[in-house]
Amino acid sequence: MKVEVRTDVAWEQHPMAPYVRTERMPHVWCPGCGIGTIVKCYATALERSDIDLDKVAVVSGIGCSGRAAGYFKLDGFHTTHGRAIPFATGLALGRPQLTVTVMSGDGDLVGIGGNHFIHAARRNHNLLVILINNFIYGMTGGQNAPTTPLTARSSTMPFGNFEPPFNLPHLAASSGAPYVARWTSLHVRRLTWSIEEALDRKGFRFIEVVAPCPVLYMRLNRLGSGVDEMRFYHDNAEIRNGADTRDLNIGFHEPIVCGKFVDEERPTYDELRDAHYREVLGDEYVPAPLEGGMIHG
């Protein structure tokens, strides 16, 4: 029997249709991949928030997660490999009234883009960074990532990885990020709450989301299917809010500590700049207009 897809009905009735470019479906992600779930969590968080969607921009780099920006019905920027954060920094500084989210992968944001990650956290730019960690370079075929757990196999570490991976929450927190959390793509409700909460904060907010890559990471490591990984998260994810970020390393097929680890007030780049210039320049200081650009004419 041929299944007739009534796109008009199916898409318009999908609860996320107002937030997603339904005309671009089906998306590029593999069956069992966790990225789609995270896209839905972000869309749900936006729906629950009272943010004007016209003022929301999503920026991605390159890779599987790098395609995320292309699926939201928002201003979306699919940029170069590793440069999503500085591109987003330009957007956020150019038009301060924008809510700018960076959604990209581990290889993109802390491999090739690692320098930007630590400096944006240090300066505390107004960016929500959602890093989707699948432990591997997916788009290019399963190469070793700076997040690949010790002993895990990748296509460029065929005998198992011997490089210590980053502990991302610790990297973010020690670089100065005022909001740091980690979830898995199984934690749909908690992740959505966390995104919602982070949207309500300011400064450099970092959420790591561990997600399955059944086609590469899991296949190369004989870990089963996407569903098996969901079961693994279910049985092995341990929620420890407020945990010391030094204890958050992820070992190969070992328990994953999730939770919100940092949530504090720290003046943002914009606040520090404005306060400083007001102090030294007084009335001469003219802040960049909130609506950005074209300030004249």
Partner 1 sequence: MKADPAGVLTGSHYLDGDYACGEGAMAAGCRFAAGYPITPSTEVVERIARRFPTMGGTFIQMEDELASMAAVVGASWTGTKSMTVTSGPGFSLMMENIGLAAMMETPCVVVDVQRGGPSTGLPTMVGQGDVMQARWGSHGDYEVIVLSPQSPQETFDLMVEAFNLSEVYRVPVLFLMDECVGHMTERVVIPAPDEIEVVPRRLTSLAPEEFQPYRVNGELVPEFARAGDGYRFHTTGLTHDARGYPVMSAEVQESNVHRLVDKIRLNQDRIVRVEEEGINGAEVVVVTYGITARVARAAIDIARRRGVPVGSLRLVVLWPFPEQRIRELAGEVRAFVVPEINYGQIVLEVERCAGGWAGVRSVPHGGGGVHDPRRLADEIVEAAR
Residues binding partner 1 (CB under 8 A): 21, 24, 53-55, 57, 59, 69-70, 73-80, 82-83, 85-91, 93-95, 97-98, 115-116, 119, 277, 281, 284-289, 291-297
What is the separation of C-alpha 210 from the centre of its chain, rounded to a whole number of angstroms? 10
- Residue position matching structure tokens 């796109």: 7
CA–CA separation, 14 and 2 (whole Å): 22
CB of 288 to partner 1, least distance (A): 5
CB of 245 to partner 1, least distance (A): 22
What is the separation of C-alpha 138 from the centre of its chain, rounded to a whole number of angstroms? 16
CB of 139 to partner 1, least distance (A): 12
CA–CA separation, 221 and 151 (whole Å): 10
CB of 199 to partner 1, least distance (A): 16
Rank residues 59 and 157 by Cβ distance to partner 1 and give the closer one. Answer: 59
Q: Which residue in 27, 34, 26 sits closest to 214, CA to CA?
A: 34
Rank residues 263 and 274 by Cβ distance to partner 1 and give the closer one. Answer: 274
Rank residues 196 and 274 by Cβ distance to partner 1 and give the closer one. Answer: 274
CA–CA separation, 33 and 210 (whole Å): 11
Buried b (16+ CB within 10 A) or exposed e, 269-295: bbeebbeeeeeeeeeeeeeeeeeeeee
Rank residues 12 and 163 by Cβ distance to partner 1 and give the closer one. Answer: 12
CB of 40 to partner 1, least distance (A): 18
CA–CA separation, 239 and 250 (whole Å): 14
Rank residues 86 and 146 by Cβ distance to partner 1 and give the closer one. Answer: 86
* β-bridge partners, 204: 127
CA–CA separation, 180 and 201 (whole Å): 11
What DSSP state is assigned to residue 23? G
CB of 272 to partner 1, least distance (A): 12
CB of 65 to partner 1, least distance (A): 14
Rank residues 80 and 156 by Cβ distance to partner 1 and give the closer one. Answer: 80
CA–CA separation, 94 and 290 (whole Å): 8
Rank residues 3 and 295 by Cβ distance to partner 1 and give the closer one. Answer: 295
